[in-house]
Structure 1
């Protein structure tokens, strides 16, 4: 089968969990013996994975450009994968027009509307004087989601596709229970690039320092660094005056590097070429996430590296299953600092947390079964596509109406750009 993977960005597995997930999905397709063409309108990045090394053709494309139509007509994919809902919005109508029988798969990565709803709730909480963050309830979160245009757009894209991949059981339940989406178009698949370091990982005595890691372009990570710097780290240093925190992350902006204060033990070190390597050297991972969604790559890396972690209820969401957390879950500054220091200085508690984290990792990240599930599901849907689509009448309506509006807007922008180019040549 021929796969067209439309990437929002070029995959950077060393920069983000999303990049690692993308790489694992295309690797699953190659493992099945399928032909894969990866196309993206994003600028080429120096940290991108060389897809050609694993037999995947790369193609740069543009939004609102008829050249993409020519690619569809010449390549004629059997399956088109959209990387996040806005990629489906940009290119979905063209796929529908030129390849109507292509199976359309949406990789949500995480529910953007859930993350945005929580971010909005956080901003509302912090807008009050002397505000203290509190984890929003599920009814509050769903109400916030319902108020967002992003939710309407994201759910519409899910309906328009034949299959949408979710990385969290919590998000699957939200879509079914709170928004009434049909289960046949949804699948939980945690396929994520992790290293199996469950054996031979460094033990307590071989490690030192705290670690925090995350792509600075991802807003939940930046908020976590700020909360660490302003509140949590001073509380930890009050209990542990010699403590050192190493903050890693791709694409640190000047506002992040300016937070570096060696005298306070707060070291902003930026890019980590090997996230697993620096995670294995640390004794405790700190991930104070006040909003977000999906599976958090930093916590997955910590589990696989045998590094206990302290995070929030939102950080642990979708990752704990029915198991005790590999470290501590704390939602206040005082609880977070106390748990971090106790974990850092208690070898028995630390070793118990390491074991619990590895048990979670073994349950959550089963690459082979996740890969096999993805391939078998796609094969079954492709064989029964007409029947499958008949059960998603809302999706048919949205494809009919929404695609027309997207098509006309895109065609107008395309014409406008063409006229601008022609005028510049005169």
Structure 2
């Protein structure tokens, strides 16, 4: 039985974020192909973490900057190693290459962090020109074209780190076709190093009808900056206007890890309800009449909008929210970047049964055409088997990756070994000084 080791930046939390859902889908894909899986992380156990052993997946707590990881990895002798985001590859990639050189190295990017950061920087610059907080929070979403994004991203340390990790790995999984095209066309990454593999989902068989639903819903992990920014746009600009048009409605905001600054916004009199953690996000999504996701920046594809489609809940979002998910002209709801257009869309969808039902039907169509599990079943393992048989030639052709592994891993290795030596000295001094 082949063995996969997943090196997680955090422990998977599928009920907290789309990233957690994504990781579970990857684990299940390997299990369906009879792989043995060990999930390892240096992160502390989290409140909402998934019970991996109950699913037949072994767990291992590993240390950063410690040779104990190398010994553990050698004992595991994996056939493949999956890095959860580029930061994990930076931390452990050189150790994996040194200890298990024949293991296929996979990178799950989740989304392009540098793209999200570039859009956020552009948004903040536009907001800085506003004369008041009200004006700042009414600034619309970031809609820069790829050539403008290139100018913002090209010199960033974050992009260079992400690209280096992609080149050092044998295959990187991408959830967004837009980001794949940005990498191949704008940054000239070889297509052979990338694979499109989004989240996947199927529609519920009997979603609640129009008459059985009420209120608006917005869902997103509060620790994720684009989600928090969307909450602020709703609170200070969009929701007051929607509420004025529909005074009996409420907006229910759900998400993991709400900070005090979020719960302080809770105002039942204004219909602005910050409700925090949802045990079952799809259950609360499926009761709402309309999903609001006014994202002003971000990257990847949005789990909340995929959940809305699954539940047959029409959504109102921006071009950033809809990116890489569906044609904006065939969105199951409305896509708009103007506050007035978002307001009109939210009110109309909430009141117009015919328009609402058409959007619900479009949800099923979009899921079937773009995110059906059958469309992607087995694709990753097929690609992995090909890699295993052509690995030497594949790596030889990736000359940039070879150079980066030679130089970057050496510097990362020396820094890690310096930290490890420093920690050993500190531990020895502590033992000598103890009574």
TM-score by length of 1: 0.97
Q: 1:157 and 1:120 mapped to 2: Cα distance? A: 23
Q: 2:3 and 2:120 mapped to 1: Cα distance? A: 38
Q: 2:376 and 2:24 mapped to 1: Cα distance? A: 14
Deviation string for 1:180-209 (max 9, x for gaps)?
Answer: 0001110000144x4x34321101000000
Deviation string for 1:275-312 (max 9, x for gaps)?
Answer: 01000000000000011111100000000000000000
In the alignment, is the contact (CA less than 8 A) between 2:216 and 2:251 conserved in 1?
A: yes
- Which of 309, 312, 315 is the equivalent residue of 1:306? 312
SS in 1 for 2:233: helix
In the alignment, is the contact (CA less than 8 A) between 2:290 and 2:350 conserved in 1?
A: yes
In the alignment, is the contact (CA less than 8 A) between 2:70 and 2:99 conserved in 1?
A: yes
SS in 1 for 2:378: helix
Taking only aligned residues, the RMSD between alpha carbons, in angstroms, comes to: 1.2
- Structure 1 range deviating more: 339-348 or 413-422: 413-422
1:144 matched to 2:145: no
Aligned pairs (5 A) from 1:360-375: 360-375=366-381
Counterpart in the other structure of 1:157: 165
Deviation at 1:321, TM superposition (A): 4.5
Change (3 A) 1:343 1:322: closer
Counterpart in the other structure of 2:188: 180
SS in 2 for 1:384: helix
Counterpart in the other structure of 1:219: 225
Gaps of 5+ in 1: none
Change (3 A) 1:332 1:48: same
Counterpart in the other structure of 2:34: 33
1:416 matched to 2:417: no
Deviation at 1:134, TM superposition (A): 4.8
Counterpart in the other structure of 1:70: 71
1:231 matched to 2:237: yes
Provide runs of 4+ in structure 1 moved above 6 Å.
none
Q: 2:302 and 2:337 mapped to 1: Cα distance? A: 17
Aligned pairs (5 A) from 1:313-328: 313-321=319-327, 324-328=330-334
SS in 1 for 2:278: coil
Q: 2:294 and 2:62 mapped to 1: Cα distance? A: 38
SS in 1 for 2:401: helix
1:381 matched to 2:387: yes
Q: 1:105 and 1:65 mapped to 2: Cα distance? A: 22
Change (3 A) 1:371 1:67: farther
Aligned pairs (5 A) from 1:82-161: 82-129=83-130, 130=135, 132-138=139-145, 139-161=147-169
SS in 2 for 1:290: coil
Deviation at 1:243, TM superposition (A): 1.9
Deviation at 1:133, TM superposition (A): 2.6
- Which of 207, 213, 217 is the equivalent residue of 1:207? 213
Change (3 A) 1:311 1:134: closer
In the alignment, is the contact (CA less than 8 A) between 1:125 and 1:133 conserved in 2?
A: no
Counterpart in the other structure of 1:8: 9
In the alignment, is the contact (CA less than 8 A) between 1:191 and 1:371 conserved in 2?
A: no
Deviation at 1:52, TM superposition (A): 1.0
Q: 1:277 and 1:363 mapped to 2: Cα distance? A: 24
Aligned residues: 424
Q: 1:16 and 1:245 mapped to 2: Cα distance? A: 20
Counterpart in the other structure of 1:19: 20
In the alignment, is the contact (CA less than 8 A) between 1:126 and 1:133 conserved in 2?
A: no
Counterpart in the other structure of 2:60: 59
Q: 2:58 and 2:142 mapped to 1: Cα distance? A: 44
SS in 1 for 2:164: helix
In the alignment, is the contact (CA less than 8 A) between 2:175 and 2:301 conserved in 1?
A: yes
Counterpart in the other structure of 2:336: 330
Q: 1:239 and 1:145 mapped to 2: Cα distance? A: 40
In the alignment, is the contact (CA less than 8 A) between 1:25 and 1:371 conserved in 2?
A: no
Change (3 A) 1:312 1:271: same
Gaps of 5+ in 2: none
In the alignment, is the contact (CA less than 8 A) between 1:176 and 1:183 conserved in 2?
A: yes
